[in-house]
Amino acid sequence: MTNNTNPPPAPQHSAAAAVPSKSAAALALGWLHTARFLTTAPQLHFLPHLDVPEIAFVGRSNAGKSTCINTLTQQKQLAFASKKPGRTQHINLFSLGKQGVTDAVLTDLPGYGYAAVPKQDKIRWQQVMANYLVTRENLKGIVLMCDPRHGLTELDEILLEVVRPRVEEGLKFLVVLTKADKLTRSEQTKALSIMKLQAGGGEVRLFSAPKRQGIDEIALLLWQWAHPAGDSPAP
């Protein structure tokens, strides 16, 4: 199988630093739009072994994770599949790649901290998630969704501690401050700088679905994680 009959030109790496160029962002968004359901697994050991880079989305329930995934992939229902009865506690995988050739995978991990979930289930899920984040070999990056009006929750802090050693070894890490439209401009600036201090060297971006804020920057960042400089798109 040829891996790239028509490979997209690599977006400029410098583009993520400031405002991304429109063409680079359009490429990255086009790539994200190829997202399609791959599989769902109730536990870690049911996940298929994959060689392509994997990017995991995590966050407390209601942080805006599904909305962000759906906005980035421009698919209204994609991540809401994860909210269907029976799937809320599953790990849901989506393939990415043009011409049906998977070159990366998006993972939607179950939202945590939802009050109505029995304590035993919560503990079990924390363990599954921690295991996933520590042991998933092809994991390339983590996107932590955080509602800046609430800041990091206790479970977010635990997650940060769990992934810190891997981030120090080069695992990519991004905190998305969701629902930025609910903050004033100065509150946004403040939330950004506070989170930059807490993110342990990871990236931080503001995001708003209704205002379409941060979409280009986040899309480009994810594209770059999955296609590091010098690599051709993976089969």
Is 97:103 a contact under the CB 8 Å cutoff?
A: yes
Helix (H/G/I), strand (E/B), else coil: 18: coil
Give min distance, CB of 185 to ligand GDP, in A: 16
Report, in Å, the least distance between residue 106 CB and ligand GDP.
Answer: 14
Minimum CB distance to ligand GDP smaller for 150 or for 182? 182
Looking at beta carbons only, is 30 or 113 nearer to ligand GDP?
Answer: 113
- Alpha helices for the chain (secondary structure H): 22-32, 65-73, 119-135, 154-168, 185-198, 215-226
Of residues 11 and 59, the one with the C-beta less far from ligand GDP? 59
Closer residue to ligand GDP (CB): 92 or 224: 92
Judged by beta carbon, residue 12 or residue 61, the one nearer ligand GDP is: 61
Angle among Cα 229, 33, 170 to the nearest 5 degrees reads 35
Q: Residue 209: which of 108, 82, 71, 79 has the closest Cα?
A: 71
Closer of 102 and 208 to ligand GDP (Cβ): 208
Rounded to the nearest whole angstrom, what is the least distance from the CB of residue 24 to ligand GDP in the complex?
23
Residues that bind ligand GDP (CB under 6 A): 59, 61-67, 111, 145, 178-179, 181-182, 208-210
Instruction: Name the amino acid, one letter, at 175.
Output: V
Min CB(149)–ligand GDP separation in Å: 10
DSSP 151-200: ---HHHHHHHHHHHHHHHTT-EEEEEE--GGGS-HHHHHHHHHHHHHHTT
Residue type, 216: D
Phi, psi of 34 (to 5 degrees): -80, 0
Supply the minimum distance, in Å, between the C-beta of residue 71 and ligand GDP: 8
CB 227 to ligand GDP: min, Å: 26
Give the closest residue to 134 by CA, choosing from 109, 101, 105. Answer: 109
